[in-house]
Structure 1
Amino acid sequence: MHQPRRGKHAEVVRVLRRQIDADVHKGLVAYEVVSIRGRGGGMGDAVTADLAALPAEWGASDETLADPHDVALAVEVGADEQQVARYAGDGVPVLLVVDPRHGDWTLYDRPEGGRYQGVHQGHYGDDIPVPEPLSLALATGLLPRYG
């Protein structure tokens, strides 16, 4: 369940979304507050990402839930180990967790057996190397920290 958002939470999402949307030639678009189908297939099994990069045609569909395999990148502003495990178990290929409390980030990739095999960490100021199909470096220097 998502915590109430504060302005800085929304600003993290805005800064990252602008960078993903600036790279539209790959046919991927960043959508906010996207529910992603879980293993059970229903709304109760879905995870809801703060931001998700999906094929542009998803925005024209009537689908309520995004297919986890279509998600090029899911972003959570603050997430615990249980949330990360749900994304991995549902097969979301790449998950970025940004932590404005501490000014750091963790990028997870290669889900297998309910866990992410790749774990890459950094701090605000370090670029985030997002793998294919996005294949871009997200700048973090302008991300706000919680006071």
Structure 2
Amino acid sequence: MTPSTADHVPHAQLSVEDFEQLARTSPETVTLELINGKLEVKPVPDGDHGTIFMWLLRQCMQHRPDLDLHPEQGLMVEAYRQGRARPDGALAPRRHFAGQGEWAPAEGVLMTVEVTSYDHDTDRRDRRDRYEKPHGYAAAGIPVYLLIDRESGTLVVHSEPDKGRYRQQHSYDYGDAVPLPGPVDITLDTEELKNYVR
């Protein structure tokens, strides 16, 4: 049976080694992540999701040509690199991931980005600060986590990781100027995002 989008196996505790073996042998149509010891199946993005990612990519290239925004780069996250996540985007210095394997250390990544999908598991997986990906990104010391929430029409900027949590969290509406704090130091013009509201 093929897993549906956003399937969650709540009681399965996988080792990193078992997860990496499973991820290597899974079909290309499935994106697997290991978050908090649990197997997660990431939803397949739709056209608006991809368009929003490209909007962000253009803004990053325009303001910070010294950085690259990598789509779906596998990262070792959480304490002691025990998690495996594929954020929608990982912002890092140019050529940062050259020579890395499928799962790269999170050190040196300046920002991770998630663009929410329209599925039943988005809230638990992407939004809640104390669970899942935000916790993993903070525990890995990634300075900024940007959540583009398509359902609420907001961008939420998390910063100042400390003890597995982001100490700062600021929410902005589509259309606002959104300052991304250092070390990213970009202000996003989000007016275009109003075109992708359902």
Equivalences for residues 1-147 of structure 1 within 5 A: 1-25=41-65, 27-38=66-77, 39-41=79-81, 45-78=83-116, 79-81=126-128, 82=131, 83-143=133-193, 144-147=195-198
The Cα of 1:40 is off from its aligned counterpart by: 4.0
* 8 A contact 1:110–1:116 mirrored in 2: yes
Q: Which amino acid aligns with 2:75?
A: I
TM-score normalised over the length of structure 1: 0.88
Q: What letter is aligned with 2:102?
A: T
Distance 2:136 2:53 in 1: 21
Q: How many residues align?
A: 144
Which protein shows a greater Rg? 2
Q: CA deviation at 1:65?
A: 2.8
The one-letter code sitting in structure 2 at the alignment partner of 1:92 is: I
| CA-to-aligned-CA distance 1:96-122 (integer Å, 9 cap, x gap) | 000111211100001111110011111
Task: Structure 1: state its 5+ residue gaps.
Answer: none
Q: Which has the higher contact order (CA 8 A, sep 6+)?
A: 1
* Whole-angstrom CA distance in 2 between matches of 1:47 and 1:112: 19
Structure 2-normalised TM-score?
0.67
1:19-67 alpha-carbon deviations (Å, 9 max, x no partner):
1012344x2111111122123436xx21211011111122432333333
Q: Is the 8 A contact 1:77 1:99 kept in 2?
A: yes
